[in-house]
């Protein structure tokens, strides 16, 4: 019997993405919010992950530069020409709260993206607009809520330019539940054969945010340690360590587009891994492909946990760490 987290990924992501996008578009930020030359997304863990994708999309499709801050402080240059999204699913993450306060003091145009918590109440007290996002069983499962809210908001402000068809296609992909379950099941079979070795998730440079997210999902849901490698960069350093081991396993995120498919193949040949698995990313454009990889990461990591008698929701180490720093 699939658990709550798996079911949420499978059944709720399409709806969550659609309503979050609509909510982002109609956030009703004042026109001054469009008059910025940089966007900064501040958030940790599952919340900050959404920023990585937005930064990549702005580099690819066009718009103002987007920076991601996964720390307790915003850079000194953040000021009145910066739009800052303080993103925290719970609203109680110390680093993100500190970023929000600093960005506010530096005069940035600020938006809180959250379920509420301390960030929600702080924002209300200071007249900062809040995008209240929909419920999810865990921050990482709320990726579509966070990501599509910011995407819709950035597009409506004219700060990110994406073909509407790609947004639509990315959400439609999340309806292909049978295909996704089949893909996730196959991947879980393979993961079972390589667990314990050196697992690296390899992506072409534009798709690297999905590899990082895959690594986090495998850690938090499946309790599997792995590494995320970005090609071509990884071919200039980490490749040596990978090729020197007998237990290297590569999970290759193949966008099925040249020159990346050939380069990824060449990278894998140079590593000569003990085992490899190629996940072909569905969709035509970059956004749909990123979303497909992200969805399969969620489904396969929760499924792996369930098949191995683990609780995908349990994250005791994160809780212990948060107690240390809060």
Nearest to 221 by CA among 191, 264, 255: 191
- Using DSSP's 3-state secondary structure scheme, residue 106 falls into coil
- Nearer CB in complex with ligand F6R: 42/250: 42
- Rounded to whole angstroms, the Cα distance separating 134 from 260 reads 36
Q: Which residues of the chain form contacts with ligand F6R (CB under 6 A)?
A: 44-47, 88-90, 93, 96, 138-140, 220, 315, 318
Nearest to 198 by CA among 236, 232, 237, 224: 224
Closest contact distance (angstroms) between CB of 114 and ligand F6R is 8
- Nearer CB in complex with ligand F6R: 152/312: 312
- Nearer CB in complex with ligand F6R: 264/303: 303
Closest contact distance (angstroms) between CB of 248 and ligand F6R is 27
- Nearer CB in complex with ligand F6R: 220/306: 220
Nearest to 286 by CA among 149, 150, 151: 151
Closest contact distance (angstroms) between CB of 47 and ligand F6R is 4
Report the b/e string of 145-157 with b at 16+ CB within 10 A: bbbbbbbbbbbbb
- Nearer CB in complex with ligand F6R: 109/140: 140
When CB distances to ligand F6R are compared, the closest residue is 45
Closest contact distance (angstroms) between CB of 4 and ligand F6R is 13
Helix or strand (DSSP H, E) at 56: helix 45-61
Closest contact distance (angstroms) between CB of 321 and ligand F6R is 8
């Amino acid at each position: 019997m699939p658990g709550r987290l798996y079911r949420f990924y499978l059944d709720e992501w399409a709806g969550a993405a659609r309503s979050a996008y609509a909510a982002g578009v109609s956030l009703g930020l004042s026109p001054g919010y469009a008059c910025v030359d940089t966007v900064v997304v501040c958030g940790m863990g599952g919340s900050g992950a959404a920023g990585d994708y937005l930064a990549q999309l702005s580099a690819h499709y066009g718009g103002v530069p987007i920076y991601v801050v996964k720390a307790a402080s915003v850079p000194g240059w953040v000021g009145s020409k910066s739009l800052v999204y303080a993103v925290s699913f719970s609203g109680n993450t110390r680093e993100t709260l500190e970023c929000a306060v600093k960005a506010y003091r530096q005069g940035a145009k600020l938006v809180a993206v959250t379920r509420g918590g301390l960030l929600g109440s702080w924002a209300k007290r200071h007249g900062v607009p809040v995008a209240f996002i929909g419920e999810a069983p865990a921050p990482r499962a709320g990726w579509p809520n966070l990501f599509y809210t910011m995407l819709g908001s950035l597009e409506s402000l004219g700060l990110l330019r994406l073909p509407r068809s790609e947004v639509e296609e990315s959400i439609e992909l999340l309806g292909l539940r049978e295909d996704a379950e089949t893909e996730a099941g196959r991947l879980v079979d393979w993961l079972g054969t390589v667990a314990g070795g050196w697992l690296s998730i390899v992506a072409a440079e534009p798709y690297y945010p999905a590899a990082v997210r895959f690594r986090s999902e495998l850690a938090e849901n499946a309790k599997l340690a792995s590494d995320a490698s970005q090609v071509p960069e990884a071919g200039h350093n980490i490749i040596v360590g990978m090729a020197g081991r007998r237990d290297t396993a590569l999970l290759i995120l193949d966008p099925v587009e040249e020159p990346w498919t050939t380069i990824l193949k060449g990278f894998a040949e140079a590593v000569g891994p003990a085992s490899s698995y190629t996940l072909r990313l569905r969709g035509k454009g970059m956004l749909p492909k990123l979303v497909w990889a992200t969805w399969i990461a969620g489904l396969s990591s929760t499924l792996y946990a369930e098949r191995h008698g683990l609780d995908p929701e349990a994250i005791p180490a994160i809780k212990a760490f948060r107690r240390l720093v809060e």
